Structure 1
Amino acid sequence: MTTDPPSRQAGPTASAEPAELAESSRETDQGGAHRARRAFRRWRRTRPFWAALWTGTGGFVIFFLPMAPLGKILQVGVGGIAGMAGGVVIMAMALLVLLLPSQRHTAGVIAVIAGVASFPLSNLGGLFVGMILSVLGGSMAFAWLPEKPTRRRGGPLRRNRGPAAGTPVPPVSVGSGSV
């Protein structure tokens, strides 16, 4: 017994090949992903994104490095709690830099101070990695500037290319300046 393939129905989908349908659905998926990526890029460029990323990573390392069971933290004492508090402060400054770019100077300075303070408080600043990342991110946040405004509507800026053709040029003295 043989089975025949189902007959194609007349209509808009019957004329399109399966490969064409798959390609058109991929285009719409890529279009949405492309728009989302472009929107994220536009949002990212309006704030110190990389500074927040490095600062948050440094705070994460400083916070989770001394993590231990509660009994161990109580035996370690204030040192373990101070290290974790420093990591929380640094991660909070990373969020502040990301969400409120106008406060980047204050948050950057606090992140650098907390990163340096983590050196004696939290296992050598998260074994130097957390401290270095926090100082790097805080410095980047402090130094970040918003994008430059777009050019004027009048077109590109003109450079002074010298006198126009036909304009007399004043005489210039060439020499060393001594008589």
Structure 2
Amino acid sequence: MSAVTPGPNDHFLKVYWRKFRTWRGSRPFWAGFFTILGGIPIAYFPYASMKLGNLTMSMATTAGAGSLIIGVLLITLGLTMWFHHIVRVFAGVAAILLALISIPVSNLGGFLIGFLLSMVGGALSISWVPDKKPGELEAEQSETVPGPRTDDDADGTMGEPDTTLETNGGRHSAG
């Protein structure tokens, strides 16, 4: 057994942590995390009640149902970013639009906490791009790098030198 490979005595928490890091790196994890965290205060604050001694304060408004719908949709979009990351751009745009709608509907977007977290999550989701595997990266580089250019590239033969010779009155010229 070498010092590089883990042995059979590797702690199971380390194994799970490595698997989680691999899973987290293959999807927009932080985008989904911020979107879920943004949906929680948007859905929670209209239904929350705070007790101070015998005094109960409640934020019950007519927009409670709208806030609940927006919050649940944001949580769902965050989970979608995690588990169905192919639609990350749609989920990011939808999260940004729902965050903007939550400002007038849901107590300034969950007192700006949910609004800001959802905006950041949506922006991260839109900007996230999956990593390229080493084999894909080499194939892409070999396809995009052209060969040496010649003066006669007007005919569309990129990087292919013209090897035909024509005779013009006893003179040999290329092209």
Instruction: Compute the TM-score of the two structures, normalised by the length of structure 1.
Output: 0.63
Structure 2 CA distance, aligned partners of 1:88 and 1:116?
Answer: 15
Partner of 1:35: 15
| Structure 2 gaps, min length 5 | 1-7, 50-57, 142-175
Query: How do residues 41-80 of structure 1 correspond to structure 2 at under 5 angstroms?
Result: 41-68=21-48, 76-77=61-62, 79-80=63-64
Please list the CA deviations of residues 4-63 of structure 1 after superposition, one character each: whole Å capped at 9, or x if unmatched: xxxxxxxxxxxxxxxxxxxxxxx93x5211111111101110000000000000001111
Runs of at least 4 residues off by over 4 Å: 151-154
Q: CA 1:153–1:83 in structure 2 vs 1: closer, same or farther (change >3 Å)? A: closer
Q: Which has the larger Rg?
A: 1
Answer whether contact 2:39 2:73 (CA < 8 A) is retained: yes
Supply the distance in 2 between the matched residues of 1:37 and 1:91 (Cα, whole angstroms): 24
- 1:1-179 matches, within 5 Å, as 28=9, 31-68=11-48, 76-77=61-62, 79-150=63-134
Alignment RMSD (CA, Å):
2.5
Q: Could you tell me which runs of 5 or more consecutive residues in structure 1 were left unpaired when the two chains were aligned.
A: 1-26, 158-179
Change in CA separation of 1:110 and 1:36 when aligned onto 2, cut-off 3 Å: same
Q: Which amino acid aligns with 1:64?
A: Y
Report the Cα distance in structure 2 between the residues aligned to 1:68 and 1:33, rounded to whole angstroms: 37
Paired residues, number: 126
Which residue matches 2:169?
A: none
Higher strand share: 2
Work out the CA distance in 1 between the residues paired with 2:22 and 2:90.
24
Q: Give the partner amino acid of 1:76.
A: T
TM-score (norm 2): 0.65
Q: Tell me the distance in 2 between the aligned counterparts of 1:51 and 1:153.
A: 25
Q: Percent identity?
A: 32
Using the TM superposition, give the Cα deviation of residue 139 of structure 1 relative to its aligned residue in structure 2, in angstroms: 0.7
AA in 1 matched with 2:31: A
